[in-house]
Structure 1
C-alpha cells in the first residue's frame, strides 16, 4: 500500500455483549484507537449496561448503539449459541436497514455477522476470532452434538467468508488451523493481532503488600479454585500466614447462572480449606477499583489453563506486578519466565512454590515489576496495537480497489 493515501473510513464494530471481559476490552481499545486515527467509528451491540461496562463506552470518542437487548440469552439455561446467533442477526439487520453503508466492518466473536454484512458488496469485513467457538462447547450427549453440528459447520463456513481474519495469539492461530481444516487447506491463514493495554493508565508508583490478587470472570473455565488451593497450601507453610491474604476479583453477572453458582462453590472451597477469613471476593469491580488492587498487591495469579490470550497478565505487568500463570496458551507469549513472572504447571504445589519465592524477597519482586512494565510498553501497548489494527483496516478496505 506504499504511496496510497490513507482515507478516513466509516468503521462499524459489531460485538454481541458490551460487558467488561477481555474480549470487550479489546473491542473498546479498537474503537478508541481507530477513532484517534481519524476514522468514524460506531459500535453496535445487543447489550450495553451503562452501570456495568468500560467507562470509555459511555465517555469515549465513538458512538454505541444497542439493538435487541430484549432478546433472550438462553432458554432455560440452554441454547446459548442459538440465542447469540439470533441476537447478532437482529443487530446486523438493524444496521443494514437503519444505517448507510460502512467502509469496513470489524465483526467480533460471532461469525454469522460476516456474510450478512457482505450483502452490501462495497463493505469489507474483518473477523476477529478469539477462539473457535466449537471448541468452547462441551458436548456431553449425542443430542447436544446433533444440536451443535450445524452451528459448527456454519461457523467455519461464515468465518472463511471474511476479507481478513485476525486472531489474538499464535496459540489461537495454530488452533485455528487444526480446527478449521477446510479453511487451512484453502490457504486461509489468519493474522495475529495481540490485545493490548494502555500502559499510561497504570501508575508508576506502587507498593507490594502481602496480598495475592486474582482477576477473572467467575467462570469455571477460569480455574479460580487453583488460586484458593495454592493460597491454602502456602498458608500451611512456615510463614506467618495471617499476614498474607488473597483477593479474587472479576466480572460477575447475576444473569448468568454459572457466575452465581461458581462464586458459591469458591466461597465453600475457601471455608473447607480453612482460609475463608483471609480470602476476599470482589464482584464486578470498576476500572478504578481494579487499578487500586493492582497497585498494592504483591503479584497476580492467573489460573486459566490453555487460555487463548489473557489480558490480565498484561494489566498486571503494566502495574509493575509479576504474574504467576499456567505454562500454556497465551501467557506463554506474554509472560517471560523468571523475568516478568513465573510460568508454572497448573498445580497448587507449583503455584505455591512461586508465591513463596516472591514473599521471601521483595527486592526481587520490585525488579521483576520494573522488567514487566518495560516489557509491556515495548510489545503490548495500545499504540502498537492501534498502528497494526489501522494497517489491517486499510488493507481490507483497499482489497479489490487497487
Structure 2
C-alpha cells in the first residue's frame, strides 16, 4: 500500500458489538486511541458498554459529548436487545443488535469519512448507504468457522448466516485481518471472494509497551490469562501445572468473566473442580475480570505466562506478556507462531499437558533463563508490536482508503 502524506483530519466512526474486555475490544480501543492521536475525530458506537467492565480509555467519552483532545466519545444503542434467546440464537441476536446500531448511525448522525466495522459484517450494506464514507471491515476470524454445525437444524440455521457473512464482507472497501494465519484462513474459507481477487491486508494488534516496567522481582508463579471460555483450553494449564509436582510453584488463572454468559459461569466451576481432582486447588488462584492495573501487577510478579488456546487467530495475551518482560509458553499453531519466537522469547509446544509441563519445568529449574528470555521478549514487542507501529500502519490504511488508493 502506498504511504500517505499529510492529509486533512478525518471524521471516523467505529462500530463494535460489545465494548467489554477482550482481545477484540482491546484492538478497537487501541485503534480509537491511535487514530485520535493522529488528530482524527473518532467516535465509537456499540450495543453494550458497561463502565464497570470495560477498558479505562472508553470511560472518558461515555455519552455523546465532545471528549478532551486525544480521546473519543462512546455512544450506546440497543442495549435493551437480547444477547440470546434461552442461551440460543447468539449469532442472530448479534446481527440484530449490530443492525440496530447501524440504523441509528445512519439516521441520527451526519456523514463520516471512514467507518470501521468490527467483527459483524452484516452492518456493511447499511453503512454503505452513507455514500460519502469508505467502509473498513476488521475480520478477527471468519465467524462461520467459529460456529458449530453439529446438527441438521443448526446447519439449517447457520447456512443463511454464513452466506450473508461472506457476501457482506466482500462489500467492504478494505478488509483487515489480525494475522497471516487469519489471512490464509480467510482465503480458504471465503472461496468466492478469493476467486474475485478480494484479499485482506494484515494489521497486527498491538500493546502499549510504556505501561509495563521491568519487574524488580518475581515469584515462582505461572500465569494464565484468558476469557473463561472452553475454546481457550484453560484446563491444559491446570493439567500441566499438576504434572510439575513442584510444591513451591503456584498458578494464577485470570481473565474476562461475564456473569451474563452461561458458559463463563459453568466453565469456571469446571476448572475449579478439575483443580480439586488433580490435588492442586490449594496452589491455584482464580481471578475474574481483573482491572488493567491488577493484570499488570500479575504480569510483573509471575515467572512466565501460559497461553493455552489452539489455533488462536492471533492472541494478544502473548504480546502483552512479552511487553511485560515475560516469556510465553503457547501452542505451536495459529497466531503465536507469528508473535512468539520459539526458544528466544518463550516456547511453542504441542497442546498436551506433557509438553507444556516440560517447558514450565525448565523455568522452575532455571529462573534466570526466564529473565533472559523476558528481556528478549520485550525487545521483540517494541520492534514489532508496539501501539506506535500499529497506529502508523492503521493511519496509513485509513488515509489511503479515504483517498481511494489501492494496494
Tell me the TM-score range normalised by the shorter chain.
Answer: over 0.9
- Contact map agreement 1:117 1:125 (CA 8 A) in 2: yes
- Contact map agreement 1:206 1:320 (CA 8 A) in 2: no
Residue of structure 1 equivalent to 2:38: 37
> What does 1:214-363 correspond to in 2, within 5 Å?
214-235=224-245, 241-363=246-368
1:159 shift after superposition: 0.1
Q: Check if 1:178 corresponds to 2:178.
A: no
Give the whole-Å Cα distance in 2 for the aligned partners of 1:2 and 1:258: 44
Give the whole-Å Cα distance in 1 for the aligned partners of 2:149 and 2:83: 19
Residue of structure 1 equivalent to 2:167: 157
Spell out, residue by residue over 1:375-401, the C-alpha distance to the aligned partner (whole angstroms, 9 max, x if none): 000000000000000001011111189
1:363 shift after superposition: 1.5
Give the whole-Å Cα distance in 2 for the aligned partners of 1:71 and 1:217: 23
1:161–1:3 Cα change, 3 Å: closer
Residue of structure 2 equivalent to 1:17: 18
1:371–1:125 Cα change, 3 Å: same
- Contact map agreement 2:114 2:135 (CA 8 A) in 1: yes
- Contact map agreement 1:208 1:362 (CA 8 A) in 2: no
Spell out, residue by residue over 1:350-393, the C-alpha distance to the aligned partner (whole angstroms, 9 max, x if none): 00000000111122111101000000000000000000000010
Q: Structure 2: which 5+ runs fail to align?
A: 62-70
- Contact map agreement 2:187 2:199 (CA 8 A) in 1: yes
1:206–1:134 Cα change, 3 Å: farther
> What does 1:13-162 correspond to in 2, within 5 Å?
13-59=14-60, 61-162=71-172
Give the whole-Å Cα distance in 2 for the aligned partners of 1:163 and 1:199: 31
Using the size of structure 2 for normalisation, the TM-score is 0.96
Give the whole-Å Cα distance in 2 for the aligned partners of 1:129 and 1:395: 19
Which deviates the most, 59-68 or 95-104? 59-68
Give the whole-Å Cα distance in 2 for the aligned partners of 1:129 and 1:345: 27
- Contact map agreement 2:304 2:328 (CA 8 A) in 1: yes
Give the whole-Å Cα distance in 2 for the aligned partners of 1:368 and 1:5: 39
1:379–1:326 Cα change, 3 Å: same
Spell out, residue by residue over 1:58-84, the C-alpha distance to the aligned partner (whole angstroms, 9 max, x if none): 136011000000000000000000000
How many residues align? The count is 396
1:104 shift after superposition: 0.0
Q: Give the secondary-structure state (helix, strand or coil) at the position aligned to 1:242.
A: coil
Spell out, residue by residue over 1:198-231, the C-alpha distance to the aligned partner (whole angstroms, 9 max, x if none): 0001112342310000000000000000000000
Residue of structure 2 equivalent to 1:238: none
1:20 shift after superposition: 0.4
Residue of structure 1 equivalent to 2:67: none
Give the whole-Å Cα distance in 1 for the aligned partners of 2:45 and 2:217: 40
1:3 shift after superposition: 7.7
RMSD: 1.2
- Contact map agreement 1:322 1:341 (CA 8 A) in 2: yes
Q: Check if 1:169 corresponds to 2:179.
A: yes
Residue of structure 2 equivalent to 1:392: 397
Give the whole-Å Cα distance in 2 for the aligned partners of 1:358 and 1:208: 12
1:166 shift after superposition: 0.1
Give the whole-Å Cα distance in 2 for the aligned partners of 1:252 and 1:280: 15
Q: Structure 1: which 5+ runs fail to align?
A: 236-240
1:2 shift after superposition: 6.4
Give the whole-Å Cα distance in 1 for the aligned partners of 2:298 and 2:401: 40
- Contact map agreement 1:233 1:349 (CA 8 A) in 2: yes
1:249–1:128 Cα change, 3 Å: same
Give the whole-Å Cα distance in 2 for the aligned partners of 1:352 and 1:297: 16
- Contact map agreement 2:60 2:73 (CA 8 A) in 1: no
Q: Give the secondary-structure state (helix, strand or coil) at the position aligned to 1:11.
A: strand
